[in-house]
């Protein structure tokens, strides 16, 4: 059986813990590999390698670091098909979706190629008599990323792309459920010209996470995962003196006003709710139609779309989504569906009985649809993270605005309307971090930043874009004077610029 090792100091490193995690093929339910789980000592070994590499890497000028990013981009594009197939084989998402996963990460790498410009500081000539002031951005040292199973290509590149381009070295702890693509990314970074130790991959569970959070030489940690763990990472990491950004869960709403193009809105929502089997933090699992006429029409159109929606294996080009990542996750989704029934929501379509001929042991679950969902229900309050769409009916724009604004999560929200004034008012007032106007998955492009509000994010700095550059650097400000002539008397008061 294939064994997935750590990647430290530019080479595969066999672990010593004797502990392993199973890596499944979600299409068949079979164990296809096992991944080594690190000890704290192995995390420390990766950090020591990263420390050594970072000292020299930080001295490489930004233009040359950008050239490594350009070459890394080229190599990813060269290997796109193989990477997507590998990703799908461990995660379960269809090939086209895996390519999208990698491409969205690659867009951050493209942004990082502009690092010489992004690192430029500020300069003031003549701030005082013969005094100039300038600032510079410098790397923190060693940074780390802890990434989830749902985007094993995109989210690691969101993190290490900016971190490495700004002169840091990086420790990546990917999900143990689908760890192969992150290792391939590290190998390609070395092939692109990054020195050994600049990007290390350490697999593991809570032991590795805690070792990262506690290690005194790791200066910053970026995390994406569930909200409870995000809060834990943020609390423990900041208590250890680290800079931390920790992105948590979501329950994104799609508000549909009566004037919306319903056919387009429903098609958008179907893709956003069921794509990647709903395993996206920017999925759209709650649709909020305003008024009974709109709600009834939305329900009818959703049912029509579900009749043609195809669930299949990852390599089926006709499939719109594939299996979920594990049997445990499939059971969790099934339990939430039963919870919704018990809470009194109307289960219009039940996907729990879905089975794919020839792949009966795969982790497949069909699309489910609830209507008459109320804000008091746990299935509305909590993140299901599966192919389950909930209709939460409201009677007014104000109610539609209130639902996402008052929810514990504040990652993303979308509004569908032809009314520019209503859309503008909604975007201004909604208490959510990312807003889509007739855009169902409002993930900002790489040169903007990604981040939610409330329990969807802990920390003050978002991912990628200029916020990412700020997160992985520290500012140094220099006040310089080159005196000429007579020596001045000592000054015993704080200098001012009168």
Q: How far is CA 386 from CA 90, 191, 370, 377, in A?
A: 17, 37, 13, 17
User: Which residues are CB-contacts of 384 (< 8 A; sequence separation ≥ 6)?
Assistant: 278, 285, 333, 336
**Nearest-angstrom CA–CA distance, 200 and 197:** 6
**Nearest-angstrom CA–CA distance, 154 and 225:** 14
Mutual angle of helices 62-78 and 95-112, in 10-degree steps: 170
**Is 88:98 a contact under the CB 8 Å cutoff?**
yes
Question: Tokens in use for 233?
Answer: 């990472």
Q: Say how many C-beta atoms besides its own lie within 10 A of residue 47's C-beta.
A: 25
Question: Tokens in use for 321?
Answer: 């989504």
Catalytic: which of 159, 281, 282, 306?
281
* Known catalytic membership, residue 281: yes
- Tell me which residues are annotated as active site: 281
């Amino acid at each position: 059986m294939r064994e997935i090792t750590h990647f430290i100091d530019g080479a595969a490193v066999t672990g010593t813990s004797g502990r392993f995690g199973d890596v499944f093929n979600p299409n068949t339910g079979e164990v296809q590999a096992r991944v080594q789980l690190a000890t704290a000592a192995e995390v420390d070994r990766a950090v020591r390698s990263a420390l050594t590499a970072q000292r020299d890497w930080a001295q490489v000028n930004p233009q040359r670091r950008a050239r490594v990013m350009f070459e890394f981009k080229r190599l990813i594009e060269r290997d796109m098909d193989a990477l997507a197939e590998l990703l799908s084989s461990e995660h379960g998402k269809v090939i086209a979706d895996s390519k999208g996963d990698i491409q969205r990460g690659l867009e951050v790498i493209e942004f990082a190629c502009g690092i010489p410009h992004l690192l430029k500081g500020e300069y003031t000539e003549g701030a005082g008599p013969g005094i100039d002031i300038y600032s510079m951005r410098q790397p923190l040292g060693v940074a780390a990323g802890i990434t989830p199973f749902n985007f094993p290509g995109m989210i690691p590149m969101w993190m290490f792309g900016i971190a490495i381009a700004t002169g840091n070295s990086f420790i990546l702890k990917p999900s143990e459920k689908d760890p192969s693509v992150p290792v391939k990314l590290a190998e390609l970074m070395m092939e692109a010209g990054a020195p050994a130790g600049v990007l290390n991959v350490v697999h593991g569970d809570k032991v590795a996470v805690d070792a990262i959070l506690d290690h005194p030489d790791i200066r910053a940690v970026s995390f994406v995962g569930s909200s409870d763990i995000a809060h834990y990472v943020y609390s423990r990491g900041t208590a250890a003196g680290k800079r931390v950004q920790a992105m948590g869960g979501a329950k994104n709403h799609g508000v549909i006003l009566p004037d919306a193009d319903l056919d387009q809105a429903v098609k958008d929502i179907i893709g956003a709710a069921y794509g990647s089997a709903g395993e996206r933090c920017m999925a759209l699992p709650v649709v909020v139609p305003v008024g009974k006429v709109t709600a009834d029409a939305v329900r009818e159109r959703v049912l029509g779309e579900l009749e043609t929606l195809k669930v299949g294996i990852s390599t089926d080009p006709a499939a719109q989504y594939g299996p979920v990542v594990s049997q445990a996750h499939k059971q969790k989704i099934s339990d939430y569906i039963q919870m919704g029934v018990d809470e009194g929501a109307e289960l219009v379509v039940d996907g729990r009985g879905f089975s794919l001929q020839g792949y009966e042991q795969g982790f497949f679950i069909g699309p489910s649809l609830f209507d008459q969902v109320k804000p008091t229900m746990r299935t509305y309050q909590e993140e299901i993270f599966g192919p389950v769409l909930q209709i939460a009916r409201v009677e007014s724009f104000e109610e539609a605005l209130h639902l996402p604004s008052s929810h514990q999560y504040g990652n993303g929200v979308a509004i569908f309307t032809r009314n520019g004034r209503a859309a503008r008012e909604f975007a201004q007032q909604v208490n959510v971090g990312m807003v889509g106007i007739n855009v169902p998955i409002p993930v900002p492009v790489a040169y903007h930043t990604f981040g939610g509000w409330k329990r969807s994010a802990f920390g003050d700095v978002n991912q990628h874009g200029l916020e990412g550059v700020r997160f992985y650097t520290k500012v140094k400000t220099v006040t310089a004077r080159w005196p000429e002539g007579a020596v001045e008397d000592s000054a015993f008061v704080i200098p001012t610029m009168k």
